[in-house]
């Protein structure tokens, strides 16, 4: 592997934004026929380095060589012309087009009368076949296939231009274990063909399963390049975050020591709450200072139930009582009026407003609750923002920075700060740690535990079953849009117990071969081995 010269060599790369040095003299090498993982906390500079390599960001200093020739990329087209393609976490394909049209978009076969559709679909079929997914009909709508298959179509599109460098940025975040295996089969096929693959993931088991080498960044600086086989996981985590693993293990022990008292009346109690076509009538209770986890497969009704508890959707059955009084939660405003806050799982489209500053994002909910006719003074804004920048360790600590320029983990902290600023008595967190690194994840989990210690009632939703078990006092288990059980947490409770409960529960027999009969084949559930040794 190292006997061949690197296909990409980045040396001394520095990039500075107003108020922050995103990269400070970073080195990175990528060899043909290898999978190289780029690791680091959110804010470490991973995305910035990728954008420097793909022409999105102009570098302030340093050099980029591709096949031993120094290059200056002025845009993504320059990078693609140099054989560098990227597939991002969010599948950026066109669902209104066919599979083949997506594969060949921008590279259609043209004839004297314009696009030759027959030849274009033939080329798409060949591109799909090279990745082992030639069974897909290129004329079928993209929307007819799963997200996992769309991810493979996106890779096929990237490779249709005969790229020699493929960047995969969090490609497995929405895939289950079987789909990850399928994706890894494609990655190994490309590696065997000599493609150099830069792989970014927060799942340590996946990194160790597919990577040949690892480069670690921390706070915009290069921490080292390692052969994967020579880098123990504990050392990787310590290098990434600059902390001992004992700091990450303290969260679980703090939960066990809390011993939430639940003999009093629940703060929030829902009796038979449901919505036709969304979630079956369900009972839920959350006490002050308690964390109740919602666990289940993708489509089990976790988010749908949370939206009813907040008022984002209106229930058509059941009642909700808050502090012993019946309340009508008919809109998000009514939820806020009752000091219920809901942090959405869709951070990009429904959470962070990228064109607003950190300050404007944090105070948004407080201002909405007060009313736009009574704007917060700058002093009030500063007091709120400074409090939560410090409490949540938002980096960089610059309230005037555009939220779009923050890392995913710090955007998630800004979103959490927005809702904490409303001083909620009930806080509903839907996938608050998805797609963020081990360090930021531990900080958010620690913040949740502290909120519970302060008496806030917390509903915590996560596809990571280990995370739900680690942080929750009780786990409410859902399947097929209905509650199927509830587990009181304790030392003997494991993520595997939750998986077994879901797998064992069938209200009626399923047809032979129905994929929903297997809990590992449905969307967002992460079986206990998915994150493995990741301490957070």
Query: In the chain, where does the domain assigned CATH 3.40.50.300 lie?
Result: 8-246, 265-339+424-526
SS3 per residue for 259-318: CCCCCCCCCEEEEEEEECCCEEEEEEEECCCCEEEEEECCCCCHHHHHHHHHCCCCCCEE
Of 168, 217, 233, 177, whose CA–CA distance to 195 is shortest? 168
DSSP labels, 201-225: -S-HHHHHHH-SEEEEEETTEEEEE
Those residues whose C-beta lies under 8 Å from the C-beta of residue 346, and which sit 6 or more positions away, are none
Those residues whose C-beta lies under 8 Å from the C-beta of residue 69, and which sit 6 or more positions away, are none
The sign of the CA dihedral 439, 443, 449, 453 is positive
Per residue in 127-164, pLDDT tens?
888 878 888 899 999 988 887 788 888 888 888 777 89
Start-to-end Cα distance in the chain: 32
Bridge partners, 17 (sequence order): 20
What is the pLDDT, as a whole number, of residue 523? 31
Helices 408-420 and 358-370: angle between axes, nearest 10 degrees: 30
Say if CB 515 and CB 521 are below 8 A apart: yes
Return d(Cα 46, Cα 54) in angstroms, integer: 12
Return d(Cα 368, Cα 401) in angstroms, integer: 21
Bridge partners, 320 (sequence order): 270, 327
The reported pTM is: 0.57
Residue 14 burial (10 A CB sphere; 0-12, 13-18, 19+): middle
What is the pLDDT, as a whole number, of residue 532? 31
How does pLDDT run along the chain (536 residues), one tens digit per residue?
Answer: 446 899 999 999 999 987 678 899 999 999 999 999 999 876 788 989 999 999 999 999 999 999 999 999 999 889 989 999 888 766 678 888 999 998 888 888 888 888 888 898 998 998 888 878 888 899 999 988 887 788 888 888 888 777 899 999 888 876 777 778 888 988 999 999 999 999 998 778 889 999 999 999 988 899 999 999 999 887 887 788 665 445 545 555 555 554 445 557 899 999 999 998 889 999 999 999 999 999 987 678 999 999 999 999 999 999 999 999 999 999 988 998 999 999 887 766 677 898 999 999 999 989 988 888 899 999 999 999 999 998 888 888 899 999 988 887 788 889 989 999 999 999 999 988 876 667 777 788 888 898 999 999 999 998 778 889 989 999 999 988 899 999 999 888 988 888 888 877 754 443 443 333 333 333 333 333 333 333 33
Say if CB 184 and CB 175 are below 8 A apart: no
Q: Identify the three-state secondary structure at position 238.
A: helix
383: phi then psi, degrees, rounded to nearest 5: -60, -45
Q: Which residues of 279-300 are buried (b: 16+ CB within 10 A; e: fewer)?
A: bbbbebbbbbbbbbbbbbbebb
DSSP 363: H
Return d(Cα 298, Cα 320) in angstroms, integer: 25
Q: 518: cis peptide before it, omega within 30°?
A: no
Q: 396: cis peptide before it, omega within 30°?
A: yes
The sign of the CA dihedral 132, 133, 138, 142 is negative
DSSP 6: P
> Tell me: domain 265-339+424-526, CATH 3.10.450.50, correct?
no
CATH class of 8-246: alpha beta
């Amino acid at each position: 592997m190292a006997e061949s010269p690197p296909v990409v060599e980045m040396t001394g790369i520095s990039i500075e934004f107003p108020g922050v040095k995103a990269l400070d003299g970073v080195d990175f090498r990528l060899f043909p026929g290898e999978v190289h993982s780029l690791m680091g906390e959110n804010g470490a500079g991973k995305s910035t380095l990728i954008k420097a390599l793909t022409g999105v960001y102009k570098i302030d200093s340093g050099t980029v060589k591709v096949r031993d020739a120094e290059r200056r990329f002025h845009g993504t087209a320059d990078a693609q012309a140099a054989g560098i393609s990227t597939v991002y976490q969010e599948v950026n394909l066109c669902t209104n087009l066919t599979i083949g049209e997506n594969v060949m978009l921008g590279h259609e076969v043209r004839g004297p009368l314009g696009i030759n559709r027959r030849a274009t679909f033939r080329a798409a079929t060949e591109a799909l076949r090279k990745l082992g997914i030639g069974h897909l009909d290129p004329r079928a709508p993209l929307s007819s296939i799963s997200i996992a298959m769309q991810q493979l179509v996106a890779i096929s599109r990237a490779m249709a231009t005969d790229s020699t460098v493929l960047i995969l940025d969090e490609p497995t975040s929405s895939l289950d274990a079987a789909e990850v295996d399928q994706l890894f089969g494609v990655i190994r096929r490309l590696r065997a063909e000599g493609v150099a693959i830069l792989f970014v993931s927060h799942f340590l088991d996946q990194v160790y399963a597919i990577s040949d080498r690892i480069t670690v960044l921390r706070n915009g600086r290069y921490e080292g390049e390692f052969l994967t086989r020579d880098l123990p996981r504990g050392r990787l985590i310590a290098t990434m975050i600059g902390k001992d693993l004992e700091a990450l293990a303290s969260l679980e022990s703090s939960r066990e020591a809390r011993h939430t008292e639940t003999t009093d009346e629940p703060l929030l109690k829902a009796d038979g709450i449901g919505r036709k076509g969304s979630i079956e009538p369900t009972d839920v209770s959350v006490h002050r200072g308690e964390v109740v986890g919602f666990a289940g497969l993708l489509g089990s009704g976790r988010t749908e139930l949370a939206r009813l508890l907040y008022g984002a959707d209106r229930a058509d059955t059941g009642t909700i009582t808050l502090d012993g009084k019946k309340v009508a939660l008919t809109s998000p405003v009514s939820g806020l009026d009752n000091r219920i806050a809901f942090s959405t799982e869709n951070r990009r489209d429904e959470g962070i407003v990228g064109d607003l500053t950190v300050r404007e994002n944090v105070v948004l909910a407080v201002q909405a609750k007060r009313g736009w006719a009574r704007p917060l003074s700058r002093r009030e804004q500063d007091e709120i923002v400074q409090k939560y920048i410090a409490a949540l360790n938002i980096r960089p600590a610059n309230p005037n920075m555009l939220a779009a320029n923050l890392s995913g983990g710090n955007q998630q902290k800004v979103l959490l700060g927005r809702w904490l600023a409303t001083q909620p008595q009930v806080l509903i967190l839907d996938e608050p740690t998805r797609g963020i690194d081990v360090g930021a994840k531990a900080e958010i989990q620690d913040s949740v535990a502290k909120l519970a210690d302060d008496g806030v009632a917390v509903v915590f939703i996560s596809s990571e079953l280990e995370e739900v078990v680690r942080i929750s006092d009780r786990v409410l288990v859902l399947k097929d849009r209905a509650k199927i059980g509830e587990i009181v947490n304790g030392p003997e409770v494991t993520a595997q117990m939750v998986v077994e409960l879901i797998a064992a529960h069938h209200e009626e027999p399923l047809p032979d071969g129905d994929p929903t009969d297997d809990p590992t084949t449905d969307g967002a559930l992460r079986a206990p081995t998915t994150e493995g040794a990741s301490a957070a």
